[in-house]
Homo-oligomer: A and B are copies of this chain.
């Protein structure tokens, strides 16, 4: 990827996450990325295309982060993943889940940006489901949906409420949902 394109994408990602999509204009992005306007439109045909690239990049980043959790026992791996979420939510600059926030500004379900969000959420659910299946959960798809509730709750709560409080209860919530360790 060309340096200019990378600069645009990383600048836009930071601004979109921190301030929202509609609140950040192209002029601001190209100024902070130190890129000419023509260069921007050379790499991204429209702002929507940039937003789409932003969402795809975030999805890739999260998949890589998930792959870093190398715990082999599925139950422990799930707990580690949720612990990590609690920690990330307590970091300065945390402003909730990128995908939830983007979806709040893209109401149309069939918009490409929303479809990228959907795909990421399906991946997340499947990640949970397969671990639960490996644990021998009697209904891994349903339990995975419950873990999705908690996942989204962490992202929202750590943003809008006290992140330390959220972090402190995550493990207990997940443990109660999964049932006692066998």
| Beta-carbon contact of A160 and B22 below 8 Å | no
Residue of B nearest to A95 (CB): B107
Specify how many copies of this chain sit in the oligomer: 2
Q: How many residues of A contact B (CB 8 A)?
A: 43
The reply to whether the CB of A133 lies closer than 8 angstroms to some CB of chain B is: no
Q: Are A107 and B18 in contact (CB under 8 A)?
A: yes
Is A35's beta carbon under 8 Å from chain B? no
The 8 closest A-B pairs by CB, nearest first: A149-B153, A22-B22, A104-B104, A152-B156, A101-B104, A152-B153, A146-B173, A153-B153
Which A residues fall within an 8 A CB radius of B? 18-20, 22-23, 95-96, 99-101, 103-105, 107, 117-118, 121, 125, 142, 145-146, 148-154, 156-157, 159-161, 165-166, 168-170, 172-173, 176-177, 179
Give me 14 other A-B pairs in contact (C-beta within 8 A), A103-B159, A150-B150, A152-B156 excluded.
A18-B107, A22-B105, A23-B107, A95-B107, A96-B104, A100-B104, A145-B166, A146-B176, A148-B157, A149-B153, A149-B166, A151-B153, A152-B157, A176-B176
